[in-house]
Every structure is written in structure tokens, then in C-alpha cells.
């Protein structure tokens, strides 16, 4: 199961109406995200959410990609939310690893680290 399929299933389980908005471009032979940043678009609880999905090792790069999108200020001002969802197998050493989701809300300001 791909990270996108995992995110799609979870979003539906959480009650969101969700659609895959990443498409394959056969001419360029690449995947193209909605606005160049979103793989999934979810609607629910009077909110609209754009989700960038990837593997766990690409989390920071995906947050940077969304934050650098020129349309992010307009998306947020219009009431849209942006999140990065990444999936990785995690768990204690010597134990079976489980797929774990890391979610991060993307804003115009980078989050502070302590």
C-alpha cells in the first residue's frame, strides 16, 4: 500500500470527503500535484484541507515544498488548510515495526524548535 493510499483510507475513516488530485502526465512521464503541492484534497467539518503525502524520510523536504509554494498565502487566506502527512515504519528495536503517520500543519511561519 502506498503512502497516498494509506492517507486516503485514514482521511475517509476520519470522516473527510477526500479525492486524489495528483495525476500522472504520460507525456512528461511525471506525477503532477494539484497546484504543484497537493496529492489529496479533503473537505469536512466546514474545512478544506490540501494534503501533501510522502514517505517518512521526505517529511522535511515536503514541508519546505508546501511552504515555498507561491499560492500558500492565498490558500490560507481563503480558509484552506495545508498539511504534510508522511508514513514510516517505526517501533522498538527487536519488535515488529508498524506504519506510523506524522502530520504537520503548514503555515507561513516555520515552527519554532526548542
Structure confidence at residue 112 (pLDDT): 59
Q: What is the dihedral of CA 20, 25, 29, 30, to 10 degrees?
A: -40
- Return the closest-CA partner of residue 101 out of 80, 74, 83: 83
Per the structure block, which three cell numbers stand in for 58?
Answer: 521526505
- Return the closest-CA partner of residue 40 out of 73, 71, 85: 85
What CA–CA distances, in Å, run from 105 to 10, 16, 64? 16, 16, 12
Residue 80 buriedness (CB in 10 A; 0-12 / 13-18 / 19+) = middle
Q: Where are the beta strands (DSSP E) in the chain?
A: 17-20, 23-25, 30-32, 40-44, 47-55, 80-90, 98-105
pLDDT in tens, the chain (114 residues): 899 999 999 999 999 999 999 999 999 999 999 999 999 999 998 999 999 999 999 999 999 999 999 999 999 999 999 999 999 999 889 999 999 999 999 998 866 555
* All domains of the chain in start order, with CATH: 3-105 (3.40.1350)
Amino acid at each position: 500500500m502506498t503512502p497516498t493510499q494509506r492517507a486516503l483510507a485514514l482521511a475517509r475513516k476520519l470522516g473527510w470527503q477526500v479525492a486524489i488530485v495528483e495525476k500522472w502526465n504520460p507525456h512528461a512521464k511525471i506525477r503532477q500535484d494539484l497546484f504543484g503541492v497537493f496529492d489529496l484534497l479533503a473537505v469536512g467539518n466546514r474545512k478544506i484541507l490540501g494534503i501533501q503525502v510522502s514517505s517518512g524520510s521526505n517529511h522535511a523536504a515536503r514541508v519546505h515544498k508546501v511552504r515555498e509554494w507561491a499560492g500558500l498565502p492565498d490558500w490560507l487566506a481563503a480558509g484552506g488548510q495545508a498539511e504534510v502527512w508522511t508514513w514510516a515504519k517505526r517501533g522498538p528495536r527487536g519488535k515488529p515495526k508498524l506504519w506510523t503517520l506524522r502530520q504537520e500543519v503548514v503555515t507561513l511561519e516555520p515552527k519554532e524548535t526548542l
